[in-house]
Chain A
Amino acid sequence: MIDLSFSPAEWTAMRLSLKVALVAMATSLPPALLVALALARGRFPGKALLNGLVHLPLILPPVVTGYGLLLLFGRRGPIGAFLEQSVGLVFSFRWTGAALAAAIMGFPLMVRSIRLSIEAVDQRLEEAAGTLGAAPFLVFLSITLPLCLPGLIAGMILSFAKAMGEFGATITFVSNIPGETQTLASAIYSFTQVPGGDAGALRLTLVSVALSLAALMLSEGLARLAARRIGAA
């Protein structure tokens, strides 16, 4: 029989994971929407390169992504040093770094999902909205955005789920510090490294499975609901 009473350290890891995943999802949404729009509609030199860069975290070993983040966003990295001096934002060995790593890893999934849904929007509807007096930005808000809502929701939830499970890049970039950067995945890893940690690892594994499954089901359900609302299903 498994003992399902969580220790305070386990609760902390779960709370931290949720915080990291929510922040990662929310902060990557605006840039993901812009990049998806550029990839779906834009015509500019370097589009293939941008597409490649966005998808890189999907195919690189996570440890490479994590190391890259360390080089760029570490305290002595060019971006990390600049951000610390200008706005006092520190990533290395902080939960913010874990959120950054999770956001980067989830970014291609979110962009992909949003891009596909933008491409599926009938541009003739946007044309019609324009002839009715709506300026391009208002057409985007009133027609394009609502019509790609299912893809947007699916992308957000995928990114959230990816963030909940992110391990490789996170541990490389911000290590595994209990209470600061130890997420669910790192906590399970720690449990498996110490004698007698089996029960803790199993408990957190079950939590992880349940959360992932719930996120996927929620995503399906919301996407279907949104699709029904716009008349696609």
Chain B
Amino acid sequence: MSLDVRLKTRLGTVVLDVDFSAGDGVTALFGPSGAGKTSVLRAIAGLTTPRDGLIRLGGETLLDTAHGLSVAPHRRGFGVVFQEARLFPHLSVRRNLRFGSFFNKAKTTRAEFDHIVALLGIGPLLSRAPRHLSGGERQRVAIGRALLSAPRLLLMDEPLAALDEARRAEILPYLERLRDETRIPILYVSHSVAEVSRLADKVVLIDNGHVVGAGPAAETLSGASLLHGAPLRERGVVLEGRIATAQDEEGVTAVELGPTTRLRLAQEGLLPGSRVRLRIAARDVMLALKPVEGISALNSLPMRIVALHPRENRTMDVVLAGQEGLQLLAQITRVSAKALALSEGMEVQALIKSVALDR
């Protein structure tokens, strides 16, 4: 089932003008804060009506401003998970979860209820009041509540943004299970590379009210648009590879990015031959003019400098290209760039301090 969205409206000083489609699986709307992602999601949910727009799901038109058609939110059948859980304070967790099926024609069965409760691990919370839940528990209940309203599409508006790092880590595995075990298409709004690269199948990049890129997650996330749009700490690349079948002599696992390019991982228990997605943050990449000996970094790769971009806080983004189409991004200080006399076309060694594994 395909969701087609075309919107044109004014948001304060920004003009929102987007056109994209999302299919099955998880589609992420990704971009910096204030880019208009949430406004797009709210328009899809029917919570706001844009000046000009067309929204279709499968063959059904939900919004067509040219013909004065706008289906009310409660008739769209889209589940929404907001940034704040928005649980109903006067109802228990169980009644919050049952709220949607009470008003929907499509009743969820007892088995479905039990399945989703188990999936999200909220069984022990059922008889509690929302005010007695932690932030992470609340958000899990909110996700369950949206799922149990039998949605045709799940819209998630930065569901983890209001939570701290530990709570985020608590919920992400549940979102992955959700993606893998339900057949509901998900539109996931986020400005976090980590979340998006871990969850999304497809990414739609939004910046300043416009779609600046769209496609499969790994390609889109490491594309040039990301390098410019993402905040300082988030910049980096996402690579796809396969766990090498043979470990090397020290027993270290390697990921094959191409026939000859491999990265070594300080992680155990990975299934040889399985496909993985790696994220390499720009600030974890160091540069050297020639191969270095006596250094703790596991990975050193020959690369060529493609571009140099001066960035905020006296830093410099260095775009690097290697063998077999490998692309990396390094973030160094401008002082170092000057000291090394870096220029475009130069051959350097990229030393990778750490590789994060996104499942």
User: Measured between C-beta atoms, what is the minimum distance from A25 to chain B in Å?
Assistant: 24
* A60 part of interface (Cβ distance < 8 Å): no
A52–B89 alpha-carbon span in the complex (Å):
34
Q: A124-B82, A124-B84, A128-B82 are in contact. Are A134 and B74 (CB under 8 A)?
A: yes
The digit string for B64-104, where 1 denotes a CB below 8 A from any CB of A, is: 00000000111011111010101011100000000110011
B88 surroundings in chain A (CB, below 8 A): 125, 128-129, 143
The number of chain B residues touching the other chain, given as a range, is 20 to 34
Q: Does A45 belong to the interface (CB within 8 Å)?
A: no
Name the A residues within 8 Å of B145 (CB-CB): 132
Interface bits B104-137 vs A (CB < 8 Å: 1, else 0): 1000000000000000000000000111000000
User: Which residues of chain A come closer than 8 Å to B72, judged between CB atoms?
Assistant: 130, 135
Q: Does B45 sit at the interface, judged by CB under 8 A?
A: yes
A231 contacts which chain B residues (CB < 8 A)?
A: 89-90, 129-131
Bits for B41-53, please: 1 = Cβ < 8 Å to A, else 0: 0000111000000
CA distance A130 to B88 in the complex (A): 12
Docked complex: A109-156 residues within 8 A CB-CB of B: 122, 124-125, 127-136, 138-139, 142-143, 146-147
Asked whether, in the complex, the Cβ of B131 is within 8 Å of the Cβ of A131, the reply is no
Q: Indicate if A232 sits at the interface (CB-CB under 8 A).
A: yes
From known contacts A143-B88, A231-B89, infer whether A131 and B80 are also in contact, taking CB-CB under 8 Å.
yes
Q: Which residue of chain A is the closest to B90 with respect to CB atoms?
A: A230
Query: Please, which residue of chain B has its CB at the minimum distance from the CB of A128?
Result: B86
Whether B146 is near chain A, meaning CB under 8 Å from some CB there, is: yes
What is the interface size of chain A, counting residues whose CB is below 8 A from a CB of the partner? 23
CB distance from B324 to the nearest CB of A (A): 46
A229 touches B (CB below 8 Å): yes
Quick check: is B149 within 8 A (CB to CB) of the other chain? yes
Chain A's nearest CB lies how many Å from the CB of B12? 20
The CA of A131 and the CA of B151, in the complex, are separated in Å by 9
Q: Which residues in A have their C-beta under 8 angstroms from that of B77?
A: 133
A122–B149 CA distance with the chains assembled, in angstroms: 21
Q: Is the CB of B89 within 8 A of A232?
A: yes
Chain A positions within 8 Å of B129 at CB level: 231
Q: Which residues of A contact B89 (CB under 8 A)?
A: 125, 147, 230-232
- A139 to B99 CA separation, bound complex (whole angstroms): 11
Partner of A130, one of B74, B90, B146: B74
How far is it, in angstroms, between the C-alpha of A112 and the C-alpha of B74 when the chains are bound?
A: 31
The answer on a CB contact under 8 Å between A133 and B86 is no
* B90–A131 touching, CB < 8 Å: no
Query: Is the pair A132, B130 in contact by a Cβ cutoff of 8 Å?
Result: no
A-B contact pairs, 21 of them (CB 8 A): A124-B84, A128-B80, A128-B88, A129-B88, A129-B99, A130-B47, A131-B76, A131-B80, A131-B149, A132-B99, A132-B103, A132-B149, A133-B74, A133-B103, A133-B149, A134-B74, A135-B103, A138-B103, A142-B99, A230-B89, A231-B89
Given contacts A128-B86, A129-B88, 5 further A-B contacts (CB under 8 A): A124-B86, A128-B82, A147-B89, A229-B90, A232-B89
